[in-house]
Amino acid sequence: MATNIEFVNHVCEQIKDKNIIKYRKMFGEYLVYINEKPLLLLCDNIVYIKMFEEIKQLMENSTTGFPYKGAKEHYILDIDNKKLITKILNILI
Protein backbone atom coordinates (compact mmCIF):
# COMPACT_ATOMS: atom_id res chain seq x y z
CA MET A 1 0.00 0.00 0.00
CA ALA A 2 1.51 3.31 -1.04
CA THR A 3 1.17 6.54 0.89
CA ASN A 4 -1.76 8.66 -0.31
CA ILE A 5 -1.55 12.37 -1.00
CA GLU A 6 -4.15 13.18 1.67
CA PHE A 7 -1.82 11.74 4.30
CA VAL A 8 1.12 13.71 2.88
CA ASN A 9 -0.93 16.91 3.10
CA HIS A 10 -1.91 16.11 6.71
CA VAL A 11 1.74 15.58 7.67
CA CYS A 12 2.77 18.84 5.99
CA GLU A 13 -0.01 20.72 7.76
CA GLN A 14 1.18 19.40 11.14
CA ILE A 15 4.77 20.59 10.65
CA LYS A 16 4.35 23.81 8.72
CA ASP A 17 4.78 26.28 11.64
CA LYS A 18 7.59 28.62 10.56
CA ASN A 19 9.08 25.91 8.37
CA ILE A 20 9.53 25.56 4.64
CA ILE A 21 8.03 22.21 3.71
CA LYS A 22 8.65 20.34 0.46
CA TYR A 23 8.10 16.74 -0.43
CA ARG A 24 9.25 14.46 -3.19
CA LYS A 25 7.50 11.35 -4.40
CA MET A 26 9.82 8.40 -4.69
CA PHE A 27 8.71 4.90 -5.66
CA GLY A 28 5.13 5.52 -4.52
CA GLU A 29 6.25 6.90 -1.16
CA TYR A 30 7.39 10.36 -0.04
CA LEU A 31 10.40 12.08 1.47
CA VAL A 32 9.55 15.28 3.35
CA TYR A 33 12.08 18.09 3.50
CA ILE A 34 11.85 20.61 6.34
CA ASN A 35 13.85 23.78 5.70
CA GLU A 36 15.70 21.94 2.91
CA LYS A 37 16.66 19.07 5.24
CA PRO A 38 15.29 15.60 4.37
CA LEU A 39 13.81 14.44 7.68
CA LEU A 40 10.62 12.44 7.32
CA LEU A 41 9.98 9.35 5.27
CA LEU A 42 6.33 8.55 4.59
CA CYS A 43 5.69 4.90 3.75
CA ASP A 44 2.33 3.14 3.84
CA ASN A 45 0.83 6.21 5.56
CA ILE A 46 3.32 5.92 8.43
CA VAL A 47 5.78 8.68 9.37
CA TYR A 48 9.34 7.46 9.89
CA ILE A 49 12.25 9.50 11.18
CA LYS A 50 15.88 8.41 11.21
CA MET A 51 17.27 7.35 14.58
CA PHE A 52 19.26 10.53 15.17
CA GLU A 53 21.30 10.46 18.38
CA GLU A 54 20.03 13.97 19.19
CA ILE A 55 16.42 12.75 19.56
CA LYS A 56 17.10 9.38 21.16
CA GLN A 57 15.89 10.46 24.59
CA LEU A 58 12.68 12.00 23.22
CA MET A 59 11.89 8.90 21.19
CA GLU A 60 12.98 6.20 23.66
CA ASN A 61 9.39 4.99 24.21
CA SER A 62 8.42 5.21 20.54
CA THR A 63 7.67 2.34 18.25
CA THR A 64 10.27 1.56 15.63
CA GLY A 65 10.02 -0.03 12.23
CA PHE A 66 11.49 -0.44 8.80
CA PRO A 67 10.02 1.84 6.13
CA TYR A 68 10.88 -0.52 3.27
CA LYS A 69 12.73 -3.77 2.66
CA GLY A 70 16.44 -3.29 3.24
CA ALA A 71 16.06 0.00 5.13
CA LYS A 72 17.64 0.71 8.47
CA GLU A 73 15.37 0.81 11.52
CA HIS A 74 13.63 4.17 12.06
CA TYR A 75 11.50 5.71 14.77
CA ILE A 76 7.80 5.88 13.98
CA LEU A 77 6.60 9.41 14.65
CA ASP A 78 3.11 10.20 15.92
CA ILE A 79 2.40 13.08 13.56
CA ASP A 80 -0.55 14.24 15.67
CA ASN A 81 1.64 14.76 18.77
CA LYS A 82 2.32 18.44 18.12
CA LYS A 83 4.34 18.90 21.33
CA LEU A 84 6.75 16.09 20.43
CA ILE A 85 7.07 17.23 16.82
CA THR A 86 7.94 20.76 17.93
CA LYS A 87 10.65 19.45 20.28
CA ILE A 88 12.13 17.22 17.60
CA LEU A 89 12.16 19.95 14.96
CA ASN A 90 13.73 22.42 17.37
CA ILE A 91 16.57 19.95 17.89
CA LEU A 92 17.07 18.86 14.29
CA ILE A 93 16.58 22.11 12.39
Mean pLDDT, contiguous 10-residue spans, the chain (93 residues): 92 90 92 96 97 96 94 96 94 93
For residues 73, 53, 27 and 47, what is the CA-based torsion angle, rounded to 10 degrees? 80
Annotated domain spans of the chain? 5-92
Q: Domain spanning 5-92 has what CATH number?
A: 3.30.1460
pTM equals: 0.93
- Residue 5 has a pLDDT of 94
- Residue 17 has a pLDDT of 85
How far is it, in rounded angstroms, from Cα 81 to Cα 53? 20
CA distances, 4 to each of 23, 46, 66, 67 (Å)? 13, 10, 18, 15
